[in-house]
């Protein structure tokens, strides 16, 4: 009885799909390249209040103007030149950060966070569906292997005369065909689901598709 339970447990463990990809890595890649999230991130960055250094650079100007005082006259070689005193300097005008500026940035940051949350939720749902299909395919593949082994065993018994009911061979063959067809159907569904998830990354969908199919790593 214990031996039978151990064999059953081993079969269940083999039926579980290997975690070739990780949800967090896939989601991080999606959020980095999702077109709407990227656009919202750019907009929010444009509303970022400038730093003090940036404000100084943007509001610093040079000036040259006539200074108060008397003019000077210089004679040289019969020519007379009159010059007025000039003042050269730097003028800095740093406006205070307005509440409106801060409010607009906060609104854009909130929009970005909301969009990220929406995309993350959809990605988690699609990835959960992908895991479900992978688990189902692994279970079907396990059953297919069992039916094939059983068919080989029955065929050997028929050859040796231990089993005379050939109908059992046909029944086993039908089960094999059914499970093999299920594997092909699930392969198509898995490809479609991987493509659906991958296209959340916009133009960078292909590396994610390969990663979900265990055909490569995500680029750094």
Name residues whose C-beta falls within 8 Å of residue 124's C-beta, 6 or more positions apart in sequence. 23, 27
Neighbours of 197 (CB within 10 A): 25
Segment 62-66 long-range contacts (CB within 8 Å, at least 24 positions apart):
62/88, 62/89, 62/90, 62/91, 63/88, 63/89, 63/90, 63/91, 64/88
Question: What are the pLDDT tens digits along the chain (220 aa)?
Answer: 334 433 444 454 454 455 689 999 999 999 999 999 999 999 888 887 766 555 555 555 555 555 555 555 544 555 555 555 555 555 555 555 557 777 788 888 888 899 999 999 999 999 999 999 999 999 999 999 988 888 888 777 777 776 666 677 778 788 888 999 999 999 999 999 999 999 999 999 999 999 999 999 999 7
pTM above 0.75, yes or no: no
CB 137 within 8 A of CB 183: yes
């Amino acid at each position: 009885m214990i031996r039978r339970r151990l064999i059953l447990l081993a079969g269940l463990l083999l039926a579980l799909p290997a975690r070739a990809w990780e949800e967090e890595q896939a989601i991080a890649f999606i959020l980095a390249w999702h077109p709407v999230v990227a656009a919202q991130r750019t907009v929010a960055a444009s509303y970022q209040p400038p730093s003090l250094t940036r404000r100084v650079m943007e509001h610093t100007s040079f000036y040259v103007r006539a200074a108060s005082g008397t003019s000077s006259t210089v004679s040289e070689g019969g020519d007379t030149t009159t010059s007025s005193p000039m003042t050269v300097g730097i003028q800095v005008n740093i406006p205070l950060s307005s509440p409106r500026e801060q409010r607009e940035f906060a609104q854009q940051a909130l929009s970005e966070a909301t969009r990220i949350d929406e995309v993350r939720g959809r990605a988690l749902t699609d990835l959960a569906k992908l895991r479900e299909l992978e688990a189902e395919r692994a279970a079907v593949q396990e059953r297919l292997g069992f039916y094939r082994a059983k068919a080989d065993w029955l065929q050997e018994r028929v050859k040796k005369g231990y089993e005379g009911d050939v109908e059992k061979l046909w029944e086993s063959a039908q089960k094999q065909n059914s499970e093999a067809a299920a594997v092909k159907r699930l392969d198509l569904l898995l490809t479609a689901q991987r493509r659906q998830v991958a296209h959340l990354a916009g133009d960078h969908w292909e590396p994610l598709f390969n990663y979900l199919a265990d055909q490569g790593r995500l680029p750094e």
